[in-house]
Every structure is written in structure tokens, then in C-alpha cells.
Amino acid sequence: MTGTSLDGIDVVLARLAGTGRALRADVVSFATRPYPPGARGPVEALMNGAAATAAELASLHAMLGRIAAEAVASVAAHVAGGPRALDLVGMHGQTVWHAPTEGATLQLGDASVAAHLLGVPVVGDFRTGDVALGGQGAPLVPYADWALYTDDTEHRVLVNLGGIANITILPAGGGREAVVAFDTGPANVLLDGAARKLSGEPFDRDGRLALSGSVDEALLSTWLAADYFRAAPPKSTGRELFSAAYLEARLVEAKEAGLSAAGTMATLVALTARTVAEAIVREAPPAAHVYVGGGGAHNPAVMRALEARLEMSGSSAVGQGHVVDRFGVLGVDGDAREALAFAVLAHEAMNGVATGMPRVTGASGRAFQGKICHPGSDA
């Protein structure tokens, strides 16, 4: 799995059995491999709207397939049997453009290339089936969330703070159609970009810069007035909206308002925390238990801001408070959640299960998600 933050390639090895709510997943190994510098630059340029020739796109598509296969093989090499012990691979690919309102989404990374290199079936291209049915094609992780983490008695909210922040709401004992999930807005895509611009660091380590600054509430209010934050789900987003140009405009506004680097970072952190918290309060059952994972969960500034906002909601007329925990207490590393989810989707695709979630994505029906690519056989 590679996301919008381009911070690495997440690889999960897991044993899967069953289907739907009876599905069980045993994580054998999890690791993050570095995103190769030679691929990151072209991918980031495409995400930010750069033009590319057909030749460049074709070359990058094949390259990302090879990179994914190499990442899987390097992790599998440390378990019994090595890569040849694998039965199946789920490969999300790299989203470079996501425009569901135009009926289009593009993930690069050729699953056939990966299947050939690994010698096992690879399931990829998960999003286009849903988009073809008029859906957002995102988020897709909620099917696995529902199958693996629904509790019979506890209302749960699963938060992923990746490049983009998203939430999955799992009502206690609920079926697939009870799930609510959507992208709430930007997270690390802005925070990491701002850290590079303001401090020269790849990210704000331990949230130090943000924690040393104060939030500019007036500026934050103007940012929160954006149409996306007010839109009702189903909805999804990415770098098409929260792009390098979007970040640059916010940094200019912060400078014009007289904010320091620390104040700018604190206000960007507040943008992520407020949009996530307000989505939870608006959509989730009162007192639902909140579990937070993804790269942003390692940032103390983000976590403190999110917890404070949810506590504030609990003392107001709009909510009854939400307990916040790290995702890992559910038994799966929060950084591994999305990669495991695509293993689940691949497993279900091989079982012939349509894993689409129409209420989540707005599709006209349950999409069959994923295209199955088999390796070649000996002549």
C-alpha cells in the first residue's frame, strides 16, 4: 500500500480465512519500505497536476509494479518459505489522480508485472469498479474495517491520519449498510509539506514546531469555510484539491497574517484536528470509542489537538464525549491497517465477493473491486 503522503511502501503478510464478518486475519509480518527517490519525484509531480507523455506514464506504471513486487519479496524473504510461500497479493497501486465526479480515477503500478515477478496472482485496480457504478471509488478500507473490527456492543470510529484523513464509523453489531465512512480532509499531505517549507525537515518530528506555536483562530475559521469541509458524505478527496498549490496559498495567508513558522504549523494541525473531530461529532453515535492510526497518530501535536477537540465536544450540547485510543489496542498496528485492508479485498475478490459499499461511496450497487492478474505459466 502506498498513499498520498508518499512516505513509504507498507507491506503486510497475513493469513486470511473466511469471508464477511466471519473473516479472520492473522498478521504474520509488517514492514515499511522506503519509496524510491527515482519514483517519488515523477509521482508527486503527477499528483500536483503536471503533464506527462504516454511514454512517461507507461514507464512509470511498469516501474511501480516492479517496485511493489520488490517490496513484497523483501518482506516475504524473512518468513518461512520466502516469496514462493505467498498465495495471493493485493496491490493498491499509487493514486496519481482521483476525480470521481468526472467518473475517473487512476492508480499506477502494473499488477501483471508484479504477478510475473512474484509468481502468484496479484489483485489490483480496486477503485475503478466502484467509480464505474457512479461511486467515489473511495474510501475502500471500510469493507475490511467492518469485517475485522465491528464489535457487538461498542460503537467504534476508526481514524486514519495519512496524507488525507478519513474516518470509518462502525455502529455496534451493524451490518455493511450501517457503515459510514469518508475522507474528512488533509492531514500529513499538508503537515509534511509545511515542515519541508518552514523548517527544511521531512516532517515535524514529535510535533515540536506545532507545539511551540499558537493557533490563529481567525485564519483557521477562513480555512474551515472551504466547501469540502461543509459537504455531506459520500465524499472523498486527495492531492487534486489539497495540492502543493493549496498549501502554498495557505502559507502565504499565514505569512500575511503575521504568523511565525510555529504558529503556521499549529494552525495547520488545528485544521486537521478540527475537521476530523467535527466529522466524528456530526456523524458518529454519541460516546463512540475512537481509535486513531496512520502516520499522524505519531504526531503528539495532532493527537493532543484531536483529543482536546473531542473532549470539548463532549462538554457541549453536540456530543457526549469520545474516548480516544491508538488503533493498536485493537490488535493490529495502526500503520498496517490499510495494507491489511487491501489483503482482505484481494482475498474477497478471489472468493468472488463484491466488496463495494454503496452507502459509503454513493455507487449505484455493490461493485466487484479488484482485477485479478495471474502469473504466466511455463511454455
- Domain residues for the domain of 13 are 9-140+367-373
Same domain, 185 and 313: yes
User: CA dist 119 to 31, 70, 181, Å?
Assistant: 21, 12, 35
Taking alpha carbons only, the member of 283, 291, 290, 282 closest to residue 316 is 282
Using CA atoms, how far apart are residues 220 and 198, in angstroms rounded to an integer? 18
**Per-residue pLDDT at 318:** 42
Same domain, 70 and 219: no
Taking alpha carbons only, the member of 342, 279, 324, 289 closest to residue 145 is 342
Regions of the chain with pLDDT less than 50: 315-319
Using CA atoms, how far apart are residues 123 and 126, in angstroms rounded to an integer? 8
Q: Would 221 be classed as within a structural domain?
A: yes
Check whether the bond before 139 is cis (ω within 30° of 0): yes
| Phi, psi dihedral angles at 41 (to 5 degrees) | -60, -55
Same domain, 134 and 155: no
Same domain, 97 and 219: no
Q: How many domains does the chain have?
A: 2
Same domain, 264 and 282: yes
Same domain, 185 and 130: no
Q: Would 342 be classed as within a structural domain?
A: no
* 182: its cell numbers: 469518508
**How big is the chain, counted in residues?**
379
Same domain, 250 and 107: no
Same domain, 38 and 160: no
Same domain, 232 and 325: yes
Supply the CATH number for residue 293's domain.
Answer: 3.30.420.40
Q: Would 295 be classed as within a structural domain?
A: yes
